[in-house]
């Protein structure tokens, strides 16, 4: 997209994973209010239907594909539904995510693989399927929801950090590969968001404090994402505290290492 133009969301055909709650739900509502046509995915079909009902009451256009995004048939069904219902795809938003809070030695191979499947492989493989379709879209864009922890790893979240570092690296490489095709790629790196994420952890040790109610409201995160999409940004780190964490780590890694070793 030209730096001089802004993305128009009216009739933008959007796929969004992880749409049943948190950032995904907030993004879906705000995009619908701006005239986007949505295909939403999550495993919780009842929650998706509630969201779709709210969107339709406000005059929005939405279709649902409930299912496990780690399964290829679910990803294929999302693309097929968007093409059959809206005639193509202009944007995909990889928002589905899971996590764990525990020391690595107290975790398991199964937890690591589940986190990597949802947070990394599902996003990558949906993107792989979507790229040929996006190339014929209007102002096409891929939005990957990463994390500040994809810039700086912290204790007790080793598997989650690994998945977000992987998504960060993939996003940077793919953005350069797609530069000549006209497909934008936005990496969103939020800090803690107030959502149900922490209610559905795969594993949480007894000493870790719940953090999900202290973070940034998902509605504010969604607003910043939409502004970044409109402006053709490559990456945003939010909020200010997240930016400070990243810059402190870049400017003085030994200090950050000592702080994390002492305070976690």
Helix intervals (H) in the chain: 22-33, 45-57, 72-86, 109-116, 122-134, 158-177, 218-231, 240-251, 253-263
206 is catalytic: no
Q: Which residue, chain included where needed, has tokens 């990463």?
A: 146
Count Cβ atoms within 10 A of the Cβ of residue 73 and give its class: 0-12 exposed, 13-18 middle, 19 or more buried: exposed
CA-nearest of 151, 185, 183, 186 to 166 is: 151
Q: What are phi and psi of 41, to 5 degrees?
A: -130, 145
Count Cβ neighbours within 10 Å for each residue of 31-64 and write b for 16 or more, e otherwise: bbeeebbbbbbbeeeebbeebbeebeeeebbbbb
Sheet containing 141-145: give its strands across. Answer: 61-64, 37-40, 13-16, 91-94, 141-145, 184-190, 235-238
Q: List, in sequence order, every residue forming a beta bridge with 38; answer none if it has no partner.
A: 14, 62
Q: Give dist(CA 213, CA 216) in Å, integer.
A: 8
Which of 164, 206, 220, 243 does the annotation list as catalytic? Answer: 164
Q: Which two tokens stand for residue 71?
A: 């399964």
Structure tokens at 188: 């969103």
Q: Is 164 known to be catalytic? A: yes
> Both tokens of residue 55?
């969107």
Catalytic residue among 57, 157, 160, 220: 160
Contact yes or no for 230/7 (Cβ under 8 A) = yes
List the catalytic residues.
Answer: 160, 164
């Amino acid at each position: 997209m030209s730096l001089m133009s802004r993305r128009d969301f009216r009739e933008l055909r959007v796929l969004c994973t992880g749409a049943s709650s948190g950032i995904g739900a907030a993004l879906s509502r705000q995009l619908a209010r701006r005239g986007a046509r949505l295909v939403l995915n999550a495993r919780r079909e009842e929650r998706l239907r509630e969201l779709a009902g709210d969107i339709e009451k406000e005059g929005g256009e939405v279709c649902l594909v409930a299912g496990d995004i780690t399964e290829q048939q679910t990803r294929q069904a999302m693309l097929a539904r968007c093409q059959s219902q809206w005639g193509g795809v202009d944007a995909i938003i990889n928002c589905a995510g899971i996590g764990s809070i525990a020391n690595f030695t107290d975790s398991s191979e199964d937890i690591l693989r589940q986190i990597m499947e949802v947070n990394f492989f599902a996003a990558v493989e949906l993107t792989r399927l979507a790229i040929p379709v996006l190339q014929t879209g209007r102002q096409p864009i891929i939005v990957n929801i990463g994390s500040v922890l994809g810039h700086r790893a912290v204790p007790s979240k080793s598997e989650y950090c690994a998945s977000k570092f992987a998504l960060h690296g993939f996003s940077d490489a793919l953005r350069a590969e797609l530069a000549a095709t006209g497909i934008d790629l936005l990496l969103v790196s939020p800090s803690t968001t107030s959502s149900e994420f922490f209610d559905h952890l795969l594993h949480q040790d007894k000493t870790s404090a719940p953090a999900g109610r202290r973070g940034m409201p998902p509605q504010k995160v969604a607003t910043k994402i939409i502004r970044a999409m409109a402006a053709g940004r490559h990456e945003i780190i939010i909020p200010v505290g997240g930016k400070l964490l990243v810059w402190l780590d870049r400017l003085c890694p030994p200090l950050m290492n000592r702080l994390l070793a002492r305070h976690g």
